[in-house]
Structure 1
Amino acid sequence: MLATAGVAALPSLAGCSSSSSGGGGSSSTVSFGSNAAVPEPKGAYQSLFAAAKKATGLTVEVNWVDHNTFQQNITTYLQGNPQDVFNWFAGERCQYFAAQGLASNVDDVWSVIGGSYSDAMKAQSKGADGHYYFVPFDYYPWAVFYSKSLWSAKGYSAPSTWDEFITLAQKMKTDGLIPLAFTDKDGWPAMGTFDYLNMRLNGYQFHIDLMRTGQGWNSSQVAAVFDQWRQLIPYYSPGFLGLTWQEGAAQLLNKQAGMMVLGLDQIGTIFTGAKADDLGFFPFPEINPTYGQDSVEAPIDGFMVCKSPKNRTGAVKLLEYLGTAGAQQTWLGSNPADIATASGVDTTKYTAPQTAAISLINSAKNLSQFMDRDTLPSFADPVMLPAIQQFLSSPNNVSSLLSGIDAQAKTIFSTTG
Structure 2
Amino acid sequence: MAQYPAGQSPAPSTVGHPSRRAVLRGSTLAAGAVTLPGLLAACGGGAGGDAGDKTVSFGSNHSDPVDKAAMEASLKAYEAKSGKTVKINTVSHNDFQTNISRYLQGNPDDVFSWFAGNRMQFFAKKGLAADISDIWQGFDGFTPALKAASTGEDNKQYFVPFYYYPWAVFYRKSVWQQRGYQAPKTWDEYRALAARMKSDGLIPISLGDKDGWPAMGTFDYIDMRLNGYDFHISLMAGKEDWTGPKVKGVFDTWKSILAYTQEAPNGRTWQEAANTLVNKQAGMHTLGMFVGQQFKPEELDDLDYFPYPVIDPANGQDAVEAPIDGFMVSKKAKNLAGAKDLMKFLAGPQAEDAFLKVFPSNVACHAKADTASYNALQKKAVELVSGAKHISQFMDRDTRPDFAQTVMIPAIQQFLGNPNDVDNILRSIEAQKKTIFAAE
Q: TM-score with structure 2 length normalisation?
A: 0.91
Matched, 1:278 2:302: yes
SS at match of 2:88: strand
Aligned-residue offset at 1:181: 1.1
- 1:331 aligned to 352, 355, 372, which one? 355
Cα distance in 2 between the residues matched to 1:100 and 1:313:
22
Matched, 1:61 2:84: no
Unmatched tracts of structure 1, length 5 or more: none
Contact 1:276–1:351 (CA under 8 A) maintained in structure 2: no
1:98-128 CA distances to partner (integer Å, 9 max, x unpaired)? 1110000112321222x21110001110111
- 2:228 aligned to 174, 188, 203, which one? 203
Matched, 1:19 2:19: no
Contact 1:10–1:77 (CA under 8 A) maintained in structure 2: no
Matched, 1:106 2:132: yes
Instruction: Answer with 198-207 or 11-20: which moved more.
Output: 11-20
Aligned-residue offset at 1:276: 2.3
Instruction: Answer with 2-11 or 199-208: which moved more.
Output: 2-11
Aligned pair count reads 412
Cα distance in 2 between the residues matched to 1:168 and 1:124:
36
Matched, 1:226 2:251: yes
Aligned-residue offset at 1:226: 0.3
Matched, 1:299 2:323: yes
Unmatched tracts of structure 2, length 5 or more: 1-24
Aligned-residue offset at 1:11: 2.5
1:168-190 CA distances to partner (integer Å, 9 max, x unpaired)? 11111111111111110001001
SS at match of 2:183: coil
Return the letter of the residue paired with 2:113.
N
SS at match of 1:70: helix
1:310-363 CA distances to partner (integer Å, 9 max, x unpaired)? 111111111111111121011111111110001112222101100000111111
- 2:188 aligned to 153, 157, 163, which one? 163
Aligned-residue offset at 1:366: 0.5
Return the letter of the residue paired with 1:149.
S
Contact 1:32–1:86 (CA under 8 A) maintained in structure 2: yes
Aligned-residue offset at 1:152: 1.6
Cα distance in 2 between the residues matched to 1:2 and 1:51:
40
Cα distance in 1 between the residues matched to 2:116 and 2:296:
27
> Aligned residue for 2:332?
308
- 2:61 aligned to 26, 35, 38, which one? 35
> Aligned residue for 1:254?
279
Contact 1:34–1:64 (CA under 8 A) maintained in structure 2: yes
From the superposition, tell whether residues 374 and 319 of structure 1 become closer, same or farther in structure 2 (CA, over 3 Å): same
Alignment of 1:112-127 (within 5 A): 112-113=138-139, 115-127=140-152
**Runs of 4 or more consecutive aligned structure 1 residues displaced over 3 Å after TM superposition:** 1-6
- 1:351 aligned to 361, 364, 375, which one? 375
> Aligned residue for 1:263?
288
1:144-185 CA distances to partner (integer Å, 9 max, x unpaired)? 011112212221110000011011111111111111111100
| Structure with higher helix content | 1
Matched, 1:321 2:345: yes
Contact 1:10–1:73 (CA under 8 A) maintained in structure 2: no
From the superposition, tell whether residues 401 and 390 of structure 1 become closer, same or farther in structure 2 (CA, over 3 Å): same
Cα distance in 2 between the residues matched to 1:380 and 1:194:
12
1:7-60 CA distances to partner (integer Å, 9 max, x unpaired)? 2325224434233203xx222211111112121311211222221211222222
- 1:76 aligned to 102, 121, 143, which one? 102
Return the letter of the residue paired with 1:148.
K
> Aligned residue for 1:8?
35
Contact 1:192–1:261 (CA under 8 A) maintained in structure 2: yes
- 1:245 aligned to 270, 276, 294, which one? 270
Aligned-residue offset at 1:238: 3.0
Matched, 1:141 2:152: no
Cα distance in 2 between the residues matched to 1:258 and 1:172:
7
Instruction: Answer with 11-20 or 173-182: which moved more.
Output: 11-20
Contact 1:197–1:229 (CA under 8 A) maintained in structure 2: yes
Cα distance in 2 between the residues matched to 1:408 and 1:323:
38
- 2:409 aligned to 385, 391, 398, which one? 385
Aligned-residue offset at 1:214: 4.2
1:52-78 CA distances to partner (integer Å, 9 max, x unpaired)? 211222222122112221112111111
Q: What is the percent sequence identity of the aligned residues?
A: 50
SS at match of 2:52: coil
RMSD, aligned CA: 1.4
Cα distance in 1 between the residues matched to 2:28 and 2:399:
23
- 1:289 aligned to 313, 323, 326, which one? 313
Contact 2:47–2:87 (CA under 8 A) maintained in structure 1: no
- 1:174 aligned to 196, 199, 220, which one? 199
Cα distance in 2 between the residues matched to 1:102 and 1:209:
25
Aligned-residue offset at 1:236: 1.8
Cα distance in 2 between the residues matched to 1:96 and 1:58:
31
Instruction: Answer with 74-83 or 271-280: which moved more.
Output: 271-280
Return the letter of the residue paired with 1:12.
L
Instruction: Answer with 31-40 or 372-381: which moved more.
Output: 31-40
Return the letter of the residue paired with 1:294.
D
> Aligned residue for 1:408?
432
Cα distance in 2 between the residues matched to 1:251 and 1:58:
44
SS at match of 1:36: coil
Contact 2:46–2:108 (CA under 8 A) maintained in structure 1: no
Cα distance in 2 between the residues matched to 1:229 and 1:32:
40
Contact 2:114–2:325 (CA under 8 A) maintained in structure 1: yes
Question: 1 or 2 for the larger relative contact order (CA 8 Å, sep ≥6)?
Answer: 2
Contact 1:269–1:336 (CA under 8 A) maintained in structure 2: no
Cα distance in 1 between the residues matched to 2:228 and 2:175:
33
Cα distance in 1 between the residues matched to 2:47 and 2:351:
25
